[in-house]
Every structure is written in structure tokens, then in C-alpha cells.
Structure 1
Amino acid sequence: MNEHDKIATRLALILQKLVSKERFTIEELCEEFNVNKRTIQRDINERLAFLPIKKENGFYFAESFTFGDLSFKDIQAFATLCGIKSLYPALTNEFIVDLLNIKTSQAYLIKSFNHESITNQQKSFEAISAWILKHQQISCTYKNKQRVLNPYKLVNINGIWYLGADEDGTFKTFTFSKMTNLKFLDTQFSENPEFLELLRKNEITWFSNSTFDATLQINANVAEYFFRRALLPNQKIIEQNDEYLILSTKVSYEDELFSIVKYWLPHIKILQPRECSKICVSTK
């Protein structure tokens, strides 16, 4: 992991503490991240200076911290800082208003900070978002087949954008970047209560009818990041030694697995399935 990635990961974890309303000292962060006091002070006083961080009796915290309390500049700075600015095609002031609006944010679901760039599909992304809120159908070509869909939600799972939509009464997911010939129809549709209930519960099971197991080997020098929080879906530790960590995970699509692995290359490799390992190596 290069120096920029280390900083971004550390800052993201500090932000997570702030969002969770945790209180911490400089010394505690030094020990957790294995860095010196000067580095943590720079994180708080320079890199995170745009955030309303308070200090009381040596403890740092963000009182009543929510994203809704931040200004446009704060949100943009956060996005640029933590590497999620290109998660959305256009992180403009207007689009941020949409994201912070309770009704509009129902069109989106984010499950990670990793991301693919879909800047060249910005207009389509925003149009689908609008059609989701208006309950109007769209048509597209997907896997060489013309389809008419009732769109429900744009979902980002481990860096890949998907559209959750009803096709002929069946709830399916479509990789957004692979949808072509998009057309936005005037036909309105009635939402299916069963699909709404799945979305309300925020269950990932609706995302795919099937999952597959994958086994990954992570080098010891980055293993700590996988201990601090589950970076992989359904992450389980299989083996650990001084050289590497072996984890198992369950994913729905190959793209989901590749997105995670490519972010951590060259410190990670796929052991199983073999075919995924070969594809990932060939696309480095």
C-alpha cells in the first residue's frame, strides 16, 4: 500500500470514530495506527481541519456529528480527502443537496468507499435517479437484450454501481456501466410492496439470488486493515501467520470481488475460485 493509501485509510477510520461519536486522545490514535504524535496532530489539525472537531480534557470528538451538519465545502473536502469524490459522477452543490435530502437519497444506497469512475455516464446516472423518484420506466440494452425496467434504486456495492429494478415482475440487478441505449419513458409504474419491503430492510439478499465463496490471501503488512473492520462481505478469518492472512468472503458478482482485490494489489491475491484469480491477474 502506498503512502497516499495509508493516509486515506487512516483518515477514513478517524472519520468513522467521529461519526460514531467516539472520544479519543492523540496517544490512543498513535498506538492504534502505529504512527508518531506529530502525524496524528497533522491529521487532526491539517488534513481534517475542515471538520468541527472539538477537544476537551485531552479528548477529541465531534459533538452531534452528522453529515447533515456539514456545508457543501465540507462534503466536497471530505469526498476529495477520502477518495469518494468520483463515486458520484458530479459532486456539485446541487447534487449534494439531493444526497442530503431524505426523499432523494432514497434513490441511492452506498455500501463502501471504494469506487468505479462513471463520470462519462453522469447524465444517465442523474436521469435514472430522477426516474426512480418519479416511478417511471426506462429501457436499455443489457447483455445483448433490449429490456424495459421499473427502476427502484441505484446501489454501490464495494465500488460497483448497480441498478435494482423490476423486469417482468422479477427484481433483478444490472451493472450500471454495462447498460447501453438508455431511454427514459413516460410510462409510470406502481411499486411492488414486496420489493419496497426488501429495500426498507436494507437487506443485501435482494441484491442477488445467489452468491459464491472466495478465498483471499492478504500480506501481513496490510492485514491490520482487515482486522480493524470487515472490508469484505461476510468476512471470516481462516488462517493467520507472520507472513499472510487468509480470509473467506461471499460475493454476488465477480466485479464485486475484483473491485476489492484491485484496490489492495499487490498485497492481496485470490486463491479461490481459480478462474477469478486468472482473470484478475490478466486485468492488472
Structure 2
Amino acid sequence: MAYKHDYDKTLTRLVSILSKLYNGDSLSVKELADEFNVSTRTIQRDFNERLVAFPIYQDNRLWKMQDGFKIEKSTSIEEQVILDIMEKLVDGVGNQFSTKAKNLLSKIKNHDYNPIYAKINMEDIEDKLEIIHHLEIAIKSKFEITCNYISNNSDISNLTLKPLKIVNFEGYWYLLAIDEKNTESIKKYYLKNISNLKTLSTTFLIDDRIDRILEKVSSIWFDNTKEPFEVKIQISKDITKYIKRKPISPSQIFESINEDGSSIISIKITHEMEIIPIIKYWLPNLKILEPKWIDDMICEDLKSYLNI
């Protein structure tokens, strides 16, 4: 087994190779071996094993990025609008991240002035960009990782994880992963509490269940080990139109619209905290009809608040 600094060198090399490919370079195995002072066999292994999940291919002994993934100037009107929106969406992620993202977008945009404004509250993660970079490679190549993690004011050292996805819910960034103790449960790790990340040589196999799960959830509180249950919610006429415009859950179904303009919807969740914060946000315009125990929890919280 190689030492830690060997993996650090490997990750640095892989990041550099990917950067060259995304910039449209055609790469020679021999030239890369000379540049990084490694054998041609090591570089060939990078392409055939470590970077196999990326859209790259070999053409006349040169490695290239597939068309559609290289950074090129955009020409269509639709692409220009999409890029303008993307440029504004990165504003809230952090100054350094935003600057780098805009520099990157400028390589594929054909104009500088942006007539679009959007504001999304996302936490600043510019101090975690290197960790995210390494996580991306580990996730795509299915490498296990070790890291330190702060959980409820206690430090966990040398936590071994199978990383599945980097996700953002309500502006906060998390790593979804499986740990050694419970291979069925998908755990959530607050990204800013992760440190001292190392990529291991061991790989893991996993199906595509994580994508299927994420398609159905709207909150980090989801629990993949539990069967979803139905929640019925009454919505006042004043905000029915807003819930139609922006559903509170991917599973949302309008069951009825009453004569007074109010409505009843049903959603499916696996944990009560997937819906309780939403109900509180829209009070008094949303009310849980079923199950009653969730409505009781909200009422108890409101009583405690009023007593304070």
C-alpha cells in the first residue's frame, strides 16, 4: 500500500490532467509522464482506471475530452441565456468561488454584460474547494476516503467512508456517504465540518440508487432506510397559487381544490423534519391534516414559543 503523500501526488496529477482536457488540450501519455516524472504505465493507468468515469477518449494515441464537455465559446441564444443565469446563481457561494466561476464562464460566453439578476442564499464554501475537488474524483472513481469530522461538538478521527454525492439543500452543503458500520443507511456529513481528507487505494461498488432517492426528496432529513409515508396538508386560498408554482416536494399531488379557493395536497416523506420547517414557514396558511402526530408536534412547538 502506498503512503499518503503518494495519493496526494496522484490526486494533484489527476486534477491537472482533467483541467487540461476540459480546456480542449490533446494529451500524450509520454509527455504527461515526463511532466509529472512518472512512468508511462502510471499515466496509462490514470486514463484507463482512475479517470474512466469522465467523458474522455483516445484518438491516434492522444487523449481528448468528448465534444460537448470541452470549454468552448457558446453561440446559441438558448445557451447564452443559460450561462447568464448560471453566472448569477454562483454569486452567493463565496467571493473566491464566484470569481473563479465567472472567469470560467467568461471562456464560453460571448458577452460580458449580464441583464439577469438572481439571489440564492448559499453558504460560502471557498475554503473547501480543494476538498470538494478531491471528493469529486473519489466519487467518480469510487475510491474510499478517510477524514476527520466534527459531530455535535465531538471530533471523529479517521472516519472511513464510501462517498456517494455532494449535495446542497437549502443553501447548505453536505457529503452523502456510506460508512463501515451500516452499509444500508446513507449518512449525511456537513461539508464544512470535514477536514484532513485522504483518498484510499481501495475501491467500492454501488448501484445507482442514490440518484433515484435524490429525485424524490426535497430535504436533507430524508431517511433511505424507512418506507415513505403520506402527509396530507390543507393550504389556504392565499398561497395555493404559490404552492402550484413551486411544489414543496417532488411527490406533491393536488387532491382537491375547494370552492373557497383553498386546497388539499398530499406528499410522501420518510422523516417528519422534511415537512415541519415548511409548515412553520408558511404559518398560518398551511395545516397538517394527516398524520395527526406531526400536527401535534407543531402545536407543541408553537405553545413552547408562545410561553417564551
Query: Normalising by structure 2, what TM-score?
Result: 0.48
- How many Å apart are 1:167 and its aligned residue? 0.6
2:139 counterpart of 1:118: no
C-alpha RMSD of the superposition: 4.3
Query: 1:165-223 CA distances to partner (integer Å, 9 max, x unpaired)?
Result: 1211445131527x74x32232425453324x334667547962223432222111111
Between the aligned partners of 1:275 and 1:215, the Cα distance in structure 2 is 14
Asked if the contact 2:94/2:126 (under 8 Å) is kept, the reply is yes
Asked if the contact 2:184/2:225 (under 8 Å) is kept, the reply is no
**1:88-107 maps to which residues of 2 (within 5 A)?**
88-89=93-94, 92-95=98-101
Asked if the contact 1:238/1:246 (under 8 Å) is kept, the reply is yes
Match of 1:131 among 131, 134, 141: 134
Match of 2:264 among 246, 254, 279: 246
- How many Å apart are 1:260 and its aligned residue? 3.5
- How many Å apart are 1:153 and its aligned residue? 1.3
Between the aligned partners of 2:204 and 2:147, the Cα distance in structure 1 is 16
SS at match of 2:274: helix
- How many Å apart are 1:116 and its aligned residue? 6.5
Instruction: Give 1:244's aligned amino acid.
Output: S
Asked if the contact 2:83/2:105 (under 8 Å) is kept, the reply is no
Query: 1:240-269 CA distances to partner (integer Å, 9 max, x unpaired)?
Result: 211521211112444432453355344323
- What is aligned with 1:256? 274
Between the aligned partners of 2:201 and 2:305, the Cα distance in structure 1 is 40
5+ long unaligned stretches in structure 2:
1-75, 108-117, 139-144
SS at match of 2:164: strand
Asked if the contact 1:217/1:270 (under 8 Å) is kept, the reply is yes
Between the aligned partners of 2:265 and 2:175, the Cα distance in structure 1 is 29
- What is aligned with 2:187? 173
Between the aligned partners of 1:259 and 1:67, the Cα distance in structure 2 is 36
Asked if the contact 1:138/1:150 (under 8 Å) is kept, the reply is no
Q: Name segments (4+ residues, structure 1) moved above 6 Å.
A: 97-101, 113-116
SS at match of 2:78: coil
- How many Å apart are 1:100 and its aligned residue? 11
Instruction: Give 1:139's aligned amino acid.
Output: N
Between the aligned partners of 1:132 and 1:98, the Cα distance in structure 2 is 20
Instruction: Give 2:188's aligned amino acid.
Output: F
SS at match of 1:221: coil
**1:176-191 maps to which residues of 2 (within 5 A)?**
176=190, 180=193, 182-188=194-200, 190-191=202-203
2:246 counterpart of 1:234: no
Asked if the contact 1:154/1:163 (under 8 Å) is kept, the reply is yes
SS at match of 2:250: coil
- What is aligned with 1:142? 151
Instruction: Give 1:256's aligned amino acid.
Output: E
Between the aligned partners of 1:212 and 1:99, the Cα distance in structure 2 is 42
Instruction: Give 2:147's aligned amino acid.
Output: I
Instruction: Give 1:176's aligned amino acid.
Output: Y
5+ long unaligned stretches in structure 1:
1-62, 102-112
Instruction: Give 2:225's aligned amino acid.
Output: N
SS at match of 1:234: coil
Bigger Cα Rg: 2
Asked if the contact 1:68/1:100 (under 8 Å) is kept, the reply is no
Q: 1:148 to 1:100 in 2, by over 3 A?
A: farther
Between the aligned partners of 2:155 and 2:271, the Cα distance in structure 1 is 20
Instruction: Give 1:142's aligned amino acid.
Output: S
Residue identity over aligned pairs, in percent, reads 20
Q: How many residues align?
A: 198
